[in-house]
Amino acid sequence: MKDPDSEKLFDYAHEQLGKRLPTDTFSGGQRSCKGCEGKVFRVIVETHEESEPDNFAGRILSTCVACGEEMDALGVYGAPREAAQTRRVGCKCGSDAFAIAQVVRFDEGFFDNGVIVAGCAKCGKKETLARTE
């Protein structure tokens, strides 16, 4: 399995966040496995009841394709509670292996909004898993 192009994943994340001001800065990183440093995961998105389209509440769980290590991929948003909806992320090409990145945008040093994106490890198609503000 080829290593997904992280550069393109970040480009996509920046597009999703929408650069508005010249003072905007971005920070973030691509997820890698704690066990083997692999960068390809199977992903489950748990959405909680209070989640909103622009302000995700829930968890994004990932399982490393290479070694099977399971992680809370990118933290918990909102209060931890029962998942209202659980979705296994899959690509139209049939693949269920993704690179994941979290990028946040700062306006003059203040957190503005964030996005968690996934890129298919097989065909490269990108998708937005969650937005936070």
Residues of this chain that bind Zn ion (CB under 5 A): 33, 35-36, 38, 64, 66-67, 69, 91, 93, 95, 120, 122-123, 125
- What is the nearest approach in angstroms of Zn ion to the Cβ of residue 126? 10
Nearest to Zn ion of 115, 118 (CB atom): 118
Nearest to Zn ion of 14, 122 (CB atom): 122
Amino acid identity at 57: A
Q: Which residue has the tokens 């948003």?
A: 77
CA distance 13 to 47: 20
- What is the nearest approach in angstroms of Zn ion to the Cβ of residue 93? 3
Nearest to Zn ion of 16, 62 (CB atom): 62
Rounded to 10 degrees, the C-alpha dihedral 90/3/56/48 comes to 50
Nearest to Zn ion of 78, 90 (CB atom): 90
Q: Which residue has the tokens 């490890």?
A: 121
The strand pair at 41-47 and 85-88 is best described as antiparallel
Q: Number of C-alpha atoms within 13 angstroms, CB side, residue 108?
A: 1
- What is the nearest approach in angstroms of Zn ion to the Cβ of residue 43? 13
